[in-house]
Chains A and B, each alone.
Chain A
Amino acid sequence: MDVKTGYVAGRLAFRGVLCRISGISTAAHCHAVKKHSCETVFKFSQRSLYQTSTPGQHRWFCHNSTPGQHRWFCHTATPSQHRWFCHTSTPGPHVCIVGSGPAGFYTAQHILKNHKTARVDIYEKLPVPFGLVRFGVAPDHPEVKNVINTFTNTASNERCSFLGNVTVGRDVTVAELRQAYDAVIMSYGADADKEFGIPGEDLSGVYSARAFVGWYNGLPQDKHLAPMLDTDTAVVLGQGNVALDVARILLTPLSILKITDITDHAAAALETSQVKTVYIVGRRGPLQTAFTIKELREMTKLPDCRPLLDPADFAGLEDKVKSLQRPRKRLTELLIKTAQTGGATAQEAQRLAQATKEWGLKFLRSPLEILSSEDGSRVSGIRLGVNQLEGSDSSARAVPTGETEVLSCGLVLRSIGYKSEPIDDTVPFDSQKGVIPNEAGRVTGCKGLYCSGWVRRGPTGVILTTMTDGFETGKAVVDDLTTGILQPVGGVRGQEWIQPLLQKKGIQAVTFEDWNKIDSEEMMRGEKVGKPREKILDVKEMLQVAQS
């Protein structure tokens, strides 16, 4: 038996000080565990003992009750894979975070930095961490994913643990977490999407941008989406950054996409895609778009692609531009310039003229009905209501004029925002706003319960916004611990309390070290095909790699 493996592959390991159990011959101890029934060992050593029920993969966690000196042993039954761990833990408040996206990680970072003894356990429903940084951020934006390095640093703090593959609300309840932890933070993001509620929304060929993004980014639940790309015209409804992301992915040359971490199935489907024109449709005007300038500029530079903007949409804006605030001003100037020039230089003009694909913005249009092809097999177009604006600037409202028009298309992506859902009925939820009601991150009326990220403030904001938000919630937790509003309870707490519950249900929590194995495997698979990584799409397979 290789004792070293025990150290390296440590389940529960990075959470505390790891040391070899002295005085025990590892092989002999292994025998002892194998020979004795659980009860015998329990009595013999006066330790509590847990056993998981996954056949062929028994693991024992043994923990002695001397306070402040918890020891853990873990043993897998596969002969070559015996592992022992010893873990001493110093007492300190136990904090639980639900969700391992930017909100979860930035909240954890703040707490670990500003409270010197708090232990932070991050629960995640998927076996892999980072939320939308992995499953949302576009594959052709790898630089955005550099934040993963900061998150990895946080996870390697000895007071921080990652427990992947645990769905809170199903595998463990919020009530159980609140019993086991001194503070519980909801940062589970926004997993659903807003809908229009118009006829035809469920036709074949109509997808939510969320599912489409999940499909090209390897979200296990969306791997079978197989969007219908056998059409020349696609319409994206909504004018936010997600809308530009999906439009760009539809139009970007495959030579660029295939060297990103885009899923293999998406690359293959996009290779045979017939989509040539993408319209991005908004209910309000050019001064109310939700996308930002960096993403718009990227669209103007897409190879083999020309913008289709109607100068009439921007008529009269030149004067108005001067009085706008800098970000909106620069964005509007870029829109006007893009609409007016067929390319600033002769070379650019030639590039645009030769382009085989195009994208356009349509303003002041709300979908009223999604139309079906005659045989009912798929979408054939959208009936749009024409709007006019009431009020001006960012708060202007779209009001229907009564006029309608039809836009033909064979693919519709609805991109009008994500939506959070209640996690369980013990946690207050404002279904109107789609957020957990809170004051500075403290959930209203629930001492010890906090929230951060998209589930706290709604599904808008970039990683930076989420970071600020996470820090604020982290500060609320640290303040409450310091001022004594939260009184940490002693005894067996935190993960040590929850793990046995999970064991009983046969749930194998994935540690950060397990994730590192998945990460290496993905990068290795990617290297073979000239990509930074090839994501594993199947939860079962992720778990297999994690346990290898």
Chain B
Amino acid sequence: MAASVLFPASARLLSGLRHFSRVSRAATTSLCRPQNHSLSTTARHFSQPTPRTEKAKVTVNYVMRDGSTVPVRTKVGENLLDIAIENDLDIDGFGACEGTLACSTCHLIFEQPIYDQLEEPTDEELDMLDLAFGLTDTSRLGCQVCVTKALDGLTVKVPEGVADARDV
């Protein structure tokens, strides 16, 4: 099979297995690879599960739809969707496709300096992001961005709506 098709096939296989065997989320979604960069944005689709040796904890501040800020402590290497879910953040509809780049409900808005530090998003992430409601220049999909130590204290904003650009 050509390299270019590995992405859909392997991603689907993974998510297919996840869905159909009802494997717990925690066991299958944290495939972000801790890296030395200031911020890793390794799309889970391309990464291999790597045993997490990093035990360091960092704080992420989620600015919720009602304007309140919820700080959460989390392990380095986790992605911003899993962190929200594991900490029971009450965001309606967040992460509908469970981090498989098929929905854009995990849309988050970053502060410019932080956004600039992030690794370039993949075409696949941008494709999905294009459909997010209230898209900004510093938007990313939470399930594709993993936190690193350098990001301690990072603030991300949950956009107000979750409508879809396919209908505007």
Contact = CB atoms under 8 A, between A and B. Distances in A.
Interface in A250-289: 256, 259-260
Interface residues of B, number: 45
Interface in B72-131: 92-93, 96-98, 100-105, 123-124, 126-128, 130-131
Contact of A327 (B8, B13, B131): B131
Given A141-B102, A303-B2, A532-B19, A146 B96 contact: yes
Nearest to B9: A256
A146 B5 contact: no
Contacts, number: 124
Q: Is the interface of A mostly helix, strand, loop or mixed?
A: helix
Contacts of A298: 8
B74 to A, nearest CB: 22
A462 B132 CA distance: 11
B15 A461 contact: no
A145 B103 CA distance: 10
Interface stretch (B32-40, B46-54, B56-64, B156-164): B156-164
Given A143-B98, A330-B126, A532-B20, 17 more contacts: A141-B102, A142-B12, A142-B16, A142-B19, A143-B12, A143-B15, A143-B16, A147-B96, A148-B19, A256-B9, A294-B124, A301-B5, A301-B8, A461-B164, A461-B167, A465-B163, A526-B20
30 contacts: A142-B12, A142-B19, A143-B19, A143-B97, A143-B102, A144-B102, A147-B97, A150-B96, A292-B127, A292-B130, A294-B131, A297-B123, A297-B124, A297-B127, A301-B5, A327-B130, A347-B2, A460-B166, A461-B167, A462-B131, A463-B96, A464-B104, A464-B162, A464-B163, A464-B164, A467-B93, A467-B162, A468-B161, A471-B92, A532-B19
Nearest to B130: A327
B102 A146 contact: yes
Nearest to B15: A143
A330 B127 contact: yes
A528 to B, nearest CB: 14
A294 to B, nearest CB: 4
Interface residues of A, number: 44
A511 to B, nearest CB: 19
B68 interface: no
Interface in B1-17: 1-5, 7-9, 11-13, 15-17
A140 B92 CA distance: 27
